[in-house]
Amino acid sequence: INVLVVGNGGREHALVHSLYTSPLVNHIYVAPGNGGTQNSYSNVSNVPIGYSPKDFPALVAFAKEKDIQLVIPGPEQPLVDGISTFFKKNGISVFGPSAKASLMEGSKTFSKDFMARHSIPTADFQNFNNYELAKNYLLKNSEKNFVIKASGIAAGKGVLIPTNTQEALDAVKQIMVDKEFGHAGDEVVIEEFLQGDELSILCLCDGYTIIDLPPAQDHKRIGDGDQGLNTGGMGAYAPAPLATPALLAKIRSTILKPTIDGMRKDGYPMIGCLFVGIMVSPSGEPKVLEYNVRFGDPETQTILPLIKSDLLEILYAAAEGRLDSVEVNIEKAFSTTVVMAAGGYPESYTKNDEITISKPLPENTFIFHAGTSILPNSTKLVTSGGRVIASTAIASTLEDSVKMAYVGVDHVSFKNKYNRTDIAYRAFKQQQS
């Protein structure tokens, strides 16, 4: 079949890398793709079409012309904007949820109400669409520690963690009055601050069946030891030893199953990748921090190389509502991803710096491009974004997968390359204690 992957990040490159060898695949198109998807594979091509709503008609016309049978949208925004329904109306299968189901990510007030309705464990919360009411609530509960969240999509920046009531009041003002995140701040969630360790659980869903992939832990902060500014994600590893079989069983029964059943019963079944951000309390209780309705980045670069089965067969089956008919075999190994960013990211950084990758890479080590492009009429690979490229390695121990991922990092050079040097440190700390 012909496949259209939508997006241009490391996640999309990792998807393409896991799909292109499928016996089912004829050709994969990536709109718009990046330097890694442009000419590394003989059966993959970039298509210069974007993915904002104004591009949807052009994407559908392209899909019809090329006889695309499966579309895999990568990022959240086109899903929230309704890309799935757009293709489905034209008879094309999509591995991705409807606009309504995408509200589980696109509106935090919606997802918190969903969790309350279906008794899914999450931080205690109140939703507000009125600044004065939100302010009074904070003043009345000044002894508590809160997290303040703009309800809409705010590029991962809409979550503020104040350390006292004044900062909490400032945060609500920033979101609701100063409109720092635009309409994303029309509503806020004020929720209880949770202590613990975070886990990312990515699940493949067809509305009924849910298959969870190896649990991962990512690294959102720019600096070693989780210091400094938040980023899109600087690295990940899986499976996280924190997720014991007992904890995973609890997550499946108290969170994953009620979520997929609740979404279906509410009339917006989850078809696609449900990504659940979970906080595990020091006593081992999992609570949902957030839902995403798409593959995570960089978790996807970490997890997909561990799937031994044909990914295309799985995603196609999920899109067509027959996920129970396929088997998903996972390699018993560890995977680690280290993201390399342009120096200065997540603040200002330079672009168009030449990238060189020395080959051959060691066995079981992969390079996934994100912010890269190939200059027109040339073969020169240059940087074109903040998170530039990532190295993933698989090994039988977590220690070795980390070591090899950093060997992969050494194979990549560009000006002011920056990466964290401590990916998976929490797992090692846990092992020592």
Q: Which amino acid is at 311?
A: L
- In the complex with ligand ATP, the residue whose CB is nearer, 35 or 74, is 74
Scanning 11-19, 185-193, 306-314, 411-419 for contacts with ligand ATP by CB under 6 A, the matching segment is: 185-193
Q: Residue with structure tokens 């832990």?
A: 217
- In the complex with ligand ATP, the residue whose CB is nearer, 50 or 121, is 121
Which residue in 39, 61, 193, 421 binds ligand ATP (CB under 6 A)?
A: 193
Q: Is 428 in the site for ligand ATP (CB under 6 A)?
A: no
CB of 319 to ligand ATP, least distance (A): 23
Largest CA distance in the chain: 63
- In the complex with ligand ATP, the residue whose CB is nearer, 121 or 277, is 277
Q: Is 198 in the site for ligand ATP (CB under 6 A)?
A: yes
Scanning 78-86, 129-137, 170-178, 288-296 for contacts with ligand ATP by CB under 6 A, the matching segment is: 288-296
Q: Is 187 in the site for ligand ATP (CB under 6 A)?
A: no
Cα–Cα distance between 188 and 138 in angstroms, integer?
12
93-132 residues near ligand ATP, rule: CB under 6 A: 123
Cα–Cα distance between 363 and 361 in angstroms, integer?
6
Cα–Cα distance between 267 and 311 in angstroms, integer?
27
x/- contact string, 143-182, with ligand ATP (CB under 6 A)?
----x-x------x-xx-----------------------
- In the complex with ligand ATP, the residue whose CB is nearer, 288 or 333, is 288
CB of 66 to ligand ATP, least distance (A): 32
Ordered DSSP codes for 142-157 = TTS-EEEEESS--TT-
Q: Is 31 in the site for ligand ATP (CB under 6 A)?
A: no
194 token code pair: 């949770």
- In the complex with ligand ATP, the residue whose CB is nearer, 56 or 181, is 181
CB of 2 to ligand ATP, least distance (A): 31
Ordered DSSP codes for 238-304 = ES-TTS-HHHHHHHIIIIIHHHHHHHHHTT---EEEEEEEEEE-TTS-EEEEEEESS--TTHHHHHG
108-117 vs 99-106: helix crossing angle, rounded to 10: 100
Q: Is 290 in the site for ligand ATP (CB under 6 A)?
A: yes
Ordered DSSP codes for 207-242 = SS-EEEPPPBEE--EEEGGGEEEE-S-SEEEES-TT
Q: What are the residues binding ligand ATP (CB under 6 A)?
A: 123, 147, 149, 156, 158-159, 191-194, 198, 220, 277, 289-290, 292
